[in-house]
Amino acid sequence: MNNLYDDKNFFESYAQMARSKDGLKAAGEWHQLQLLFPPLREKSVLDLGCGYGWHCKYAAGQGAHSVLGLDQSSRMIEEARERNAAFNITYRVCGIDEYEYPENSFDLVVSNLVLHYVADLDPVFKKVFQTLKKDGIFLFNIEHPVFTAGINEDWIYHKDGTPKAWPVDNYFYPGERQTVFLGHHVSKQHHTMTQILMGVLNAGFTLEHIKEAQPPAEMMHIPGMKDEMRRPMMLLIRAKK
Amino acid sequence: MNNLYDDKNFFESYAQMARSKDGLKAAGEWHQLQLLFPPLREKSVLDLGCGYGWHCKYAAGQGAHSVLGLDQSSRMIEEARERNAAFNITYRVCGIDEYEYPENSFDLVVSNLVLHYVADLDPVFKKVFQTLKKDGIFLFNIEHPVFTAGINEDWIYHKDGTPKAWPVDNYFYPGERQTVFLGHHVSKQHHTMTQILMGVLNAGFTLEHIKEAQPPAEMMHIPGMKDEMRRPMMLLIRAKK
């Protein structure tokens, strides 16, 4: 993973995104992701790559006993502590690959839009399996393989500047992809659908939900949102230990 | 479903394909699909859309007690009876939507490259679940959503005629897609990954394997085969009742 999120300029651009300013309700996938959360009353929750802490706050609000939010960016953790603090949430600067994953400790592990920065998912899936209690839930949102297999993660355009199609290439060559996000060069990791889903199954999980994020009807008036119907951008997975 | 496979001209073109002439070993996905078959000794097998009967013959050769191959094309069934007959195989002209699906009757239901002609998969998944015995396996190969969401199921090309990228569009608008296959207009059905996988789960199955077909190393010398690494064409699913 890169530490782009500790870069001051990038961080300032990130802060201007609707989902940063307005949280979950501004995220096009939230209406689907929310439905995949298990009941959280008195449960323990781990958030891998918590960012501003919106999902931690949500879990706390659902009655979770304790929530641990990890992010390798100290700027993100500062922001989370300011915006989304609660007595039952602990925020900690810690990368996904550094955390100790204590055995049988959490009822829910959630990870939102972080795993596409991780080159090798299998060790993460195994560690999440280890740190979940029996019947625990792993809920994650990762950039969709169609999206990461896009050429520079961008459309090809008509002459008038409107999107013509989403170009997929080199699908079966997973690994690093260069793209531009918020005006900054960003390095992401392309994983095939097979790698993601078989990784989850091979770690020992049962697949419960596989949902491609689609924007809700009430967001269709937002500029560019209709194009989100033309190719999948995010993949939501719920798996059970 | 259309009855294109009963069209004489189309049928003659189909007969010239490597996989028609040489059977399973000429099919780029067979090296992966074969591994997903359960042990078949003394088992009962149903093949939905059996075509020339290659998979029926394979199942019979694996020691299956009985194999029922269905295809709505009478030409296909004639061909199957000629090429792939065996004492324990029954071939029958019957569409996937016409079959009676007797309860708890089969140990394996297999379906190869047929379900992308079916508009509504959910009833098929439910009937397959019904006709399988407890712990029975449903193994199918369907055109991949990236493939069916391709514009006319074709590449966009460089000026020199080589493929530039695979254009995806209208992904979240499932339904009919027009394409050209073997010089004939063919109507197929695009399903999203969500529809396929959630359809299987909602029918009551457990997902055991989700594998995108990739050509094997030893076929890479075949013209055009390297391009098969650039976008996924087929999706192999193994699910358990």
Q: What DSSP string runs through A138-198?
A: EEEEEE-HHHHTBGGG--EE-TTSSEEEEEE--TTS-EEEEEEETTEEEEEEE--HHHHHH
Report the CATH number that the domain containing residue A196 is assigned in CATH. 3.40.50.150
Expressed in percent and rounded to 5, the helix, strand and coil fractions of chain B are 35, 30, 35
Number of domains in chain B: 1
| A170 lies in some domain | no
| A226 lies in some domain | yes
d(CA A29, CA A26): 9
Q: Which chain B residues are within 8 Å of A156, Cβ to Cβ?
A: 156, 165, 167
d(CA A240, CA B95): 37
Return the bridge partners of B108, or none. B45, B137
Query: If you count them, how many residues does chain A have?
Result: 241
| A224 lies in some domain | yes
- Please tell me which residue of chain A has the smallest CA distance to B147: A168
Could you tell me if A157 lies within 8 Å of chain B, comparing CB atoms? no
Q: What DSSP string runs through A189-224?
A: EE--HHHHHHHHHHTTPEEEEEEE----GGGTTSTT
Do the chains contact at B165 and A164, CB–CB below 8 Å? no
Query: Which burial class, exposed, middle or buried, applies to B16 when counting CB atoms under 10 A from its CB (0-12, 13-18, 19+)?
Result: exposed
Taking Cα atoms as reference points, which of B211, B217, B219 lies closest to residue B35? Answer: B211
Do the chains contact at A171 and B232, CB–CB below 8 Å? yes
Condensed to tens digits (0 to 9), the pLDDT of residues A193-209 reads 999 999 999 999 999 99
Total-model pTM: 0.96
Give the nearest partner residue to A193 out of B193, B198, B229, using CB atoms: B193
ipTM of the complex model: 0.95
Could you tell me if B156 lies within 8 Å of chain A, comparing CB atoms? yes
pLDDT digit string (tens) for chain B, length 241 residues: 457 777 888 888 888 888 888 889 888 899 999 999 999 999 999 999 999 999 999 999 999 999 999 999 999 999 999 999 999 999 999 999 999 999 999 999 999 999 999 999 999 999 999 999 999 999 999 999 999 999 988 999 999 999 999 999 999 999 999 988 888 888 999 999 999 999 999 999 999 999 999 988 888 998 888 999 999 999 999 999 9
Q: Which chain A residues are within 8 Å of B170, Cβ to Cβ?
A: 229-230
Do the chains contact at A169 and B198, CB–CB below 8 Å? no
| A192 lies in some domain | yes
Could you tell me if B152 lies within 8 Å of chain A, comparing CB atoms? no
Q: Which of residues 67-86 of B touch A (CB under 8 A)?
A: none
* Residue with the two structure tokens 């298990």: A38
Best mutation target among A146, A148, A153, A226 (most B Cβ atoms within 10 Å) is A146
| A41 lies in some domain | yes
| A183 lies in some domain | no
Element (H, E) at B124: helix B121-131
Could you tell me if A181 lies within 8 Å of chain B, comparing CB atoms? no
Which residue range(s) make up the domain with A106?
A: 4-148+188-240
Give the nearest partner residue to B165 out of A167, A208, A214, using CB atoms: A167
